[in-house]
Structure 1
Amino acid sequence: MLANLREQSPAWLQAWYVEATLLAQVVLILLAALLLRALMHRLISRLSRRYDLPIQITVSARRIAAFLIGFGALLMVLERLGVSGSVLWTAFTGFAAVAAIAFFAAWSVLTNLFCALLLLITRPFRLQDHIELLEGGDRPGLRGQVVDMNLIYVTLRETHPQGGESLLRIPNSLFFQRSTRRWKGEPEALPAPAGSGDRGSPLPSPAAGGGGSAVGFP
């Protein structure tokens, strides 16, 4: 059928038939990739709204899907342009080896990414919750209100007894190495550090009092 179409086409078009066919194939591949990317973005957006996923997870999923679709389209275009399969396979294995080395070099970052996924699934706390990351046993530790959760850190807002606030960023992996206490309601402000008040009176423990009761998570 294509041969008959080529014979029936004008003479000036027959000279450019191969190039025109190649260009049409490349355009079709790019259009299919763009359509697939739009469908994946819509699917990810629906899943994000349905399961109330954080915006960081949604954006990361969109970028990964766009990269995979674009990489696949690039391989198909190169194949249409005459690049041999062995060259493509060699390039792909080399890229995979470099990526594997980079992953091992950034192991701590990958650990935080995996822990972010576990925090999203298990939901030990949510945004605006008041939590405390215990140092060991029941000793007071890092404490504040959760104001942000991303792929690397959980950000807490600390309220100081002297007045003022500060932001504390805790790596996600740390929540799986220590016990976490979640407060129901807003607890009392952190006690003043030693030396700032009466040295003869003991400092109150955060676990002993507060505006709300505490729920412990191992």
Structure 2
Amino acid sequence: MEKFIADNQSELLATAITLLILLILRFLINKTVRRIGRISDIVEARTLLIIKYVSYVLTFLGLGALAFIWGVNFKDLGLLFSSVFAVIGVAFFASWSILSNVTAGVILFFSFPFKIGDRVKILDKDTESEEPYLIEDIKAFHVNLRKDNGELLVYPNNLMIQKAVTLVYHKENDSESSEIL
């Protein structure tokens, strides 16, 4: 054990520094996301979802950094990763809309002008309704919108970004408005 530590002292030090940096980054990013969620009055479940995405990205970056530090043979890893990424690429291509909805969900977390409880109109010919919808819930893939008659519309996040949406009623200031956002 002592020989291993003596032979790999620089790699062990670099590993410890990398792990420390990743933990500090994770803490700071999580704190920032929670602050944004609290300031924007975003549901805690959405905040936790974004924190989970950040953890995945940091874990992936950390594994790459550790592979670089320990001098892993990238030619061998290249063959493994190319095979894995080929399978993942086919899966992502097959479920492209799911990936775009998750990405849109992250974008909506940071820049969505509507909150749960607001009433909105979606200016889309496919919705076939002039009646406003109540935003009931905002999930990772979709937004739950409900009409006054109880009908539920599950609307994909990527369409919430692409289509024009009119804010009819904002629950915070209790005033009617008709801004197109």
Partner residue, 1:96: 85
Deviation at 1:137, TM superposition (A): 9.6
User: Cα distance 1:21–1:122, how it changes in 2: closer, same or farther (>3 A)?
Assistant: same
Equivalent-residue separation in structure 2 for 1:181 and 1:110 (angstroms):
26
Deviation at 1:122, TM superposition (A): 4.4
Structure 1 gaps of 5+ residues are: 1-12, 187-210
Q: What SS does the corresponding residue of 1:184 show, helix, strand or coil?
A: strand
| TM-score normalised by L of structure 1 | 0.59
Partner residue, 1:183: 168
| TM-score normalised by L of structure 2 | 0.68
Partner residue, 1:106: 95
Q: What SS does the corresponding residue of 1:145 show, helix, strand or coil?
A: strand
Q: What SS does the corresponding residue of 1:109 show, helix, strand or coil?
A: helix
Q: What SS does the corresponding residue of 1:140 show, helix, strand or coil?
A: coil
Q: 2:33 aligns with which of 36, 42, 48?
A: 48
RMSD: 3.7
Check conservation: 2:132, 2:168, Cα contact below 8 A: no
Larger Rg: 1
Q: Deviations over 1:16-40 (max 9, x none)?
A: 63x3435656654553343122112
Check conservation: 1:147, 1:156, Cα contact below 8 A: yes
Check conservation: 1:136, 1:178, Cα contact below 8 A: no
Check conservation: 1:129, 1:146, Cα contact below 8 A: yes
Check conservation: 1:134, 1:140, Cα contact below 8 A: no
Check conservation: 2:120, 2:169, Cα contact below 8 A: no
User: Cα distance 1:76–1:145, how it changes in 2: closer, same or farther (>3 A)?
Assistant: same
Partner residue, 1:200: none
Check conservation: 2:98, 2:141, Cα contact below 8 A: yes
Q: 1:150 aligns with which of 139, 161, 171?
A: 139
Equivalent-residue separation in structure 2 for 1:100 and 1:138 (angstroms):
32
Deviation at 1:108, TM superposition (A): 0.6
Structure 2 gaps of 5+ residues are: 41-45
Q: Which deviates more from structure 2 when the two are superposed, residues 127-136 or residues 101-110? A: 127-136
Equivalent-residue separation in structure 1 for 2:6 and 2:94 (angstroms):
45
Aligned length: 171
Q: 1:1-218 maps to which residues of 2 (within 5 A)?
A: 17=3, 19-21=4-6, 27-28=12-13, 30-52=15-37, 54-55=46-47, 56-74=49-67, 76-77=69-70, 79=71, 84-120=73-109, 122-136=111-125, 140=129, 143-160=132-149, 168-176=153-161, 178-184=163-169, 213-217=176-180
Larger proportion of helix: 2
Q: Deviations over 1:3-28 (max 9, x none)?
A: xxxxxxxxxx9xx63x3435656654
Check conservation: 2:119, 2:135, Cα contact below 8 A: yes
Deviation at 1:117, TM superposition (A): 4.0
Aligned identity (percent) is 22
Amino acid at match of 1:175: M
Q: Which has the higher contact order (CA 8 A, sep 6+)?
A: 2
Amino acid at match of 1:113: V
Check conservation: 1:33, 1:70, Cα contact below 8 A: no
Check conservation: 2:121, 2:167, Cα contact below 8 A: yes
